[in-house]
């Protein structure tokens, strides 16, 4: 059931402002492609790109990772591929949360096969204590402890995504 708030709306807003500013100064004269990892990225992605005061290309990729479980299955299946041509482009890969790192590693591999010039990860949350595969997060909202969180795009068995802030999921 719904537990206490872990990341408040105000904290999310200030992370978005900071991340957008960091990304804007990283952009330079580049023509970036923002790729969101569905579905968890939805609110983070849209709130973030709206803060970037220039034209950016957008696309989405979806892989299946978690089912009704709160632990990673460790195997990733491509559900929806990108359609934009990323060859020689600068890709910002936008992810909700990095847990074991397996999803992101697989997604990066899929995108690298299309020969982008660069690929950098933008993640709202990271649980470093759970990491099994090392992934470089170029732009990070915040680290959290090892607990299962829901809301602001994050789900448990497809529920709770629409909550405006991030809560801990606690056992019934
Ligand atoms: P990883 O492959 O273990 O890094 O898992 C990454 C994916 O698992 C994320 O994109 C989320 O969809 C999901 N996930 C990991 N931790 C949580 C959580 O605390 N709440 C909701 N989803 C999570």
Q: Could you read off the pLDDT of 114-133 as tens digits, one per residue?
A: 999 999 999 999 999 999 99
Is the full-model pTM beyond 0.85?
yes
Q: For residue 72, which atom of ligand 1 is closest to its CA?
A: 3
Binding site membership of 116 for ligand 1 (Cβ less than 6 Å): no
Q: Distance, CA 29 to ligand 1 centroid (Å)?
A: 33
| Nearest Cα residue to atom 13 of ligand 1 | 66
| pLDDT the model gives residue 76 | 78
Q: Distance, CA 66 to ligand 1 centroid (Å)?
A: 7
Q: Distance, CA 150 to ligand 1 centroid (Å)?
A: 10
CB within 8 A of 37, min separation 6: which ones?
Answer: 60, 61, 62, 63, 93, 94, 95, 96, 103, 104, 107
Binding site membership of 100 for ligand 1 (Cβ less than 6 Å): yes
| pLDDT the model gives residue 165 | 98
Binding site membership of 62 for ligand 1 (Cβ less than 6 Å): no
**What does pLDDT average to over the chain?**
93
Alpha-carbon Rg for the chain, nearest whole angstrom, is: 15
| pLDDT the model gives residue 73 | 47
| Nearest Cα residue to atom 9 of ligand 1 | 97
DSSP 156: B
The CATH class of the 2-169 domain is alpha beta
Domain boundaries, the chain: 2-169
137 pLDDT more than 90: yes
Catalytic residue among 47, 90, 96, 99: 99
Give the span between the Cα atoms of 12 and 124, in whole angstroms: 9
Q: Distance, CA 100 to ligand 1 centroid (Å)?
A: 8
Q: Tell me, yes or no, if 99 is annotated catalytic.
A: yes
Binding site membership of 5 for ligand 1 (Cβ less than 6 Å): no
| pLDDT the model gives residue 75 | 66
Place of tokens 């632990």: 71
Q: 124 vs 18, 48, 61, 106, 135, CA distance in Å? A: 11, 10, 17, 18, 14
């Amino acid at each position: 059931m719904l537990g206490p708030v872990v990341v408040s709306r105000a904290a999310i807003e200030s992370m978005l402002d900071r991340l957008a500013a960091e990304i804007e100064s990283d952009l330079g004269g580049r023509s970036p492609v923002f790729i969101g990892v569905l579905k968890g990225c939805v609110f983070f992605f849209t709130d973030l790109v709206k803060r970037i005061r220039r034209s950016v290309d957008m696309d989405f990729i979806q892989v299946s990772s978690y089912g009704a479980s709160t632990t990673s299955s460790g195997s990733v299946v491509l559900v929806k591929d990108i359609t934009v041509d990323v060859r020689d482009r600068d890709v910002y890969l936008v992810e909700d949360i990095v847990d074991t790192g397996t999803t992101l590693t697989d997604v990066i591999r899929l995108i690298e096969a299309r020969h982008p010039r660069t690929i950098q990860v933008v993640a709202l949350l990271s649980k470093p204590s759970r990491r099994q595969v090392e992934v470089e997060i170029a732009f990070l909202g915040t680290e959290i402890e090892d607990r299962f969180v829901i809301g602001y795009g994050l789900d448990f068995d497809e529920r709770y995504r629409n909550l405006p802030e991030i809560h801990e999921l606690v056992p019934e």
